[in-house]
Structure 1
């Protein structure tokens, strides 16, 4: 693939709306995002799929936000994966991690399903919005643990919006991400029941998103296909990438919030801090640790 073609098919999100106000739709390609998460966190195949779906879902939900407002999707289950966290904002930055990155399932056992990786538990969605001091948080029980059914259930229970979710991650023989992406169709207040029934049937009959991407269809094509037989008008599109704003400065600021006694135990040693979200390692030299300790001591006087 040429550089021009690679740029054309980069990870992006597109938003559209029915001209008659029946529904709105977001479609996203997250292939590079999920591959970056796999590499950064050394994910097992199971975790690549589950975290990949969660990252994709978070980005689709974030498409409804403004500016740098952000949303966090968190699954807490009793399965081997444990906790799954994904966070995204409106400008296309998405990041995430899992509690047990090497967890796998024994597929030789009967009735094993990918949802068993997360298991029974709860799904929490938190929105950090402008002009609101505290995040808006909604929590529901996990339906299946596969992320797809759980996000669809969340939209009905917490957002009270009839929706259709597709989330998909496909892997190659080496365990790398072939394609990843998803779509979210949401009913608008003036929608007719017949229109939504038609849309649900259309979405249910579609091939997996990863298969459509592998066949050369891009987010535009998938959006129009998902809206058949209705018209859809593009509202916006934006690049999407795995990105984390962690930095040594942020970690030093976090260290400065510790008590003097806790900081005193670090004296004479540098500190290596690993970001949960992206896996990056940041080293705070011992002289900077000493400076933080001295400032903490000064506050006690």
Structure 2
């Protein structure tokens, strides 16, 4: 298991250490930069995909640096292939670690998925069989990443469209044991839960009741696309191209009622709307976070009387 060493205490930080506790945020899109920088006071946090910033410099870095001065940032990897059968790509991991060092993100995360085969990189996040062999391999990969960046990561639960006959444990049990062995935290993507539950016919509420919420350091919300499969059954796609669905907002409220406010990000990665639309989604998440923060504070005050 990775042991956390606080390297920040021994070096000078490049950016302000903005608090992310209880905040809602959004995906950072460069077309929104002007509107974001014009807002005062600064609001919320922003998530970026690490692979979009692995060049040495240029406009992407200048934009991210300007945002990072006033906001906490969540660094979200999408191509580490932590669940893959081969070793973590050392060059990719080195670039990822350099970004963590450069931008001092408040949160660092990756996916419980694989996306590579030998030298081929797939433009997708593919599912895993939940077996002891897979568990051991993924835990080893997480340890390697955490040692390289000198901090724990948050691992995101997947959205899935197939299930494996070889699986010997539930997804929630697999994730729970993975966090215990590796010391990583978890990123709970509630839209992914709803998508998978609909596609496979299980209860999203039951899944969340069994999820290790005590290890969750960030929540994701997103939109999904509705389709049907070859048997005319509902098929949801984790598309990130529209507003958060009402059912996902309901699940979000239920989760916060159980674990309290947790930094929450609204993902929107295609069919990008105007900043006002994306900000409104984040503000809706913030309103629910604030409500649960007030409820927790009232309960604590009442309990001391």
Give the alignment's TM-score, normalised by structure 2. Answer: 0.25
Between Structure 1 and Structure 2, which shows a larger proportion of strand residues?
1
As a proportion of its length, which structure holds more helix?
2
Over alpha carbons, which structure has the higher Rg? 1
Q: TM (normalized to structure 1)?
A: 0.25
